[in-house]
Structure 1
Amino acid sequence: MMRGIDPLSHQPKVSQTKQQNAAARPKKEGAQASDTVEISQGAQSVAELTELAESTPAQSKANLDAVREKVQSGFYNTPEALENVANTMIESDILQDVVSKIVQFQTAKEQLSEVPDVRAEEVERTRQLVGSGFYNQREALEGAADGMIDEIV
């Protein structure tokens, strides 16, 4: 009869007292875990929206269903209902933010349209330099080329 080796007989035995002491021993001050996890901004947004959707009460779904029914029935096709909806939207912070951004965009667009595409004085100065032979010099050509490259890059 052959006897096999018990795989657990190699393991060092630890007394229960040592196990309990190890579990109860507090961590040293200043000790920090070395593993870190970074969650992308997109994943954080998805998690927040998912949490928000899950925390939305069933009453909100019922309210949305009621609004859908009113829209389909034509309830909002009356001047009074449309005026109420419009006033609510106007008073909404979200709509005010959007309108503010539109105004800023339009103002910037108008200001940009007032800036000439070509500065006439620079064109005239460059013509004079070309006419005087300034750009026939190697240093002037290299400087102009470097300037153009810097503008592109």
Structure 2
Amino acid sequence: MSATRKAGSAADVAAAASELRVAASRLLRHLRSARAGIEMTPSQAVALSRLGTDGPLSVADLARAERVRPQSMRTTLATLEERGLVTRAPHPTDQRQVLLSLSDEGRRLLTLAHHAKEDWLATAITTKLSPAEQDSLITAIPLLASLVED
């Protein structure tokens, strides 16, 4: 679907969905590349980011939030803990559970990764888009965000 066509028909919406999927995938690849100097798998980056956003969480809560199996999340978190990026603490009300939090090093690394991605994105926006296109993109951000809200 070209940028000048208006969506409306099922075919137009399907074409837009396809183009948006491709663009989003390419954007994510570029953002992951921007933090290439920080050695971390996508699963580790997501877990670290979730802890940075939501604060201390149990393995089960993290797994549920990221829609993965608890066993997979345990493996991811074990690696982050070995690297000193997360810490464990007893759950205040359920002694069977442990809460995981970002360590100071985890917080530092997460901040570095966010800055690297945001710097790349800001540079791409200012160098590849005209001022009018930048305005259009800024206007579209709330619409894109609403697509992924739970």
TM superposition score normalised by structure 1: 0.22
Task: Name the structure, 1 or 2, with higher relative contact order (CA <8 Å, separation 6+).
Answer: 2
Q: Which has the higher strand share?
A: 2
Larger radius of gyration: 1
Structure whose residues are more often helix by fraction: 1
